[in-house]
Structure 1
Amino acid sequence: MAILIGIQLIVIVLFSLLGWAIRVKKNYGLISGFVTRSKTEQAELIKNGYPQKTGSLLIYTAVGMLILLPLAFTSFSFVTELQFGFMLVFLMGGFIYLSKYEVSSKRKRSYWISSTLFVVIVGFVSVLTYLGYEKYELIVKDESFEVTGLYGEVWKFENVDKVELMEDMPEVTWKINGFGLSTMAKGEFKVKGYGKSLLFLHKEAPYVYIRVNDQHLFLNGGNPGETKEWYDELSKSID
């Protein structure tokens, strides 16, 4: 959580400084593509207020994220998703709005490009978030077990070296390829003392650790009771 808060603070400071430099100090060259415009277009953009409003948009985005930041110190479970969801929607929606201050000859094209990007990016992020939160299941068969969903696999019991029920999860130090969400971790992560590991975790103890094919696997269910049932099923199958 401390790392996520640090990242959010860096983004807030960065947006604030960029917005201040553009809006107050008139460093319009910080706006992507501005310096490559003709002098005539630059003058029209400044007259329309495009660069000034771009700076204001960045400042307002930073203020909104700062207002939401205290939620990180509450029991609210989806702080990160709310913070960056607000940033994405507000910022990209703002650029659609800024299209009306473009030079007249490029206004319509700018609107359609901004709108299309908004739909594509928000849609892509929404699908990824859905897949990240998609429920996974442990299915125990006669000779193997399977974890369903994204990053799921099938493992044979004959390759299982160890199954252990843990009350404390080892420190997860880095995400390699996966989803590190507020209430769930899914995918490949670096775990202290274990190295590269495959995680299917809700942020609630206990946890089942499995070593199979020299691979480290950590998983748990949606509640402690389900996790203990999974552990019992796996333990019986490898005895």
Structure 2
Amino acid sequence: MFEPFITQLKALFLDGAAGHHDRQSLAGLSANLRSAAVSVRAAQEALARARAEQQQDRRRLSQICTSIEDLENRARNALLKGLEPLAREAAEAIALLEDEKTDLEAAIQSFDQDLARLTDTLHRAQSRLRALKRGERTADVRDRIQKAQSLGAGAGQSALTRAEDQLEEILHRQERDQLADVEFDALSISGRPQALIEKLGDAGCGEPVRNSADDVLARLKSEIPLLLEKKSN
């Protein structure tokens, strides 16, 4: 039941270049695996019913053994009381039950062997199905990765390569714009003498043009002794 699926799965791993063919094979594999899963599920249900029927046969066998023992005890009691016709009737029922017991014991023993073989076969089928599903997941992931790498390959480059080129172009343009802003600011300062004077003053080249917070704070501190002296007078 599983051989065609295994062949398909091997083909997916060996033929990595045939992307379109792989995707078709992967779709076919998925369909076949779904069908196999349904078959395995049906086999599980059938085996479960068979086990249930086997348990019913065992309970029937136990009931027969109990009935035989009970009838034998009662038949002996009837013989002790001289009720031979009644004892004979019990013996006839016992004979029928013993025949049924013999047939049922043979059937149970034979079916136990069949159930053991069927259970082993089902377990191996389930194991193979799980392995195939894992293989299917691996093949699907590989197909998606190959698709991502080869998307747009007809134009001479993949989508990933195009994205890398676009990112490099964006970073290059941003760097160029940043340098242009710096150069523009430099040109703007040279065209405005007052701005250049302020810049030189802030750098300590000559008297500062603008007051700084440090200068204001120093001036206020210098005025404190004078204020104290005026207050004391």
* Structure (1/2) with the larger helix percentage: 2
- Structure with greater strand percent: 1
Relative contact order, CA 8 A, sep 6+: which one is greater? 2
Q: Which structure would you say has the larger Rg?
A: 2
The TM-score with structure 2 as length reference comes to 0.23
TM (norm. structure 1) is 0.22
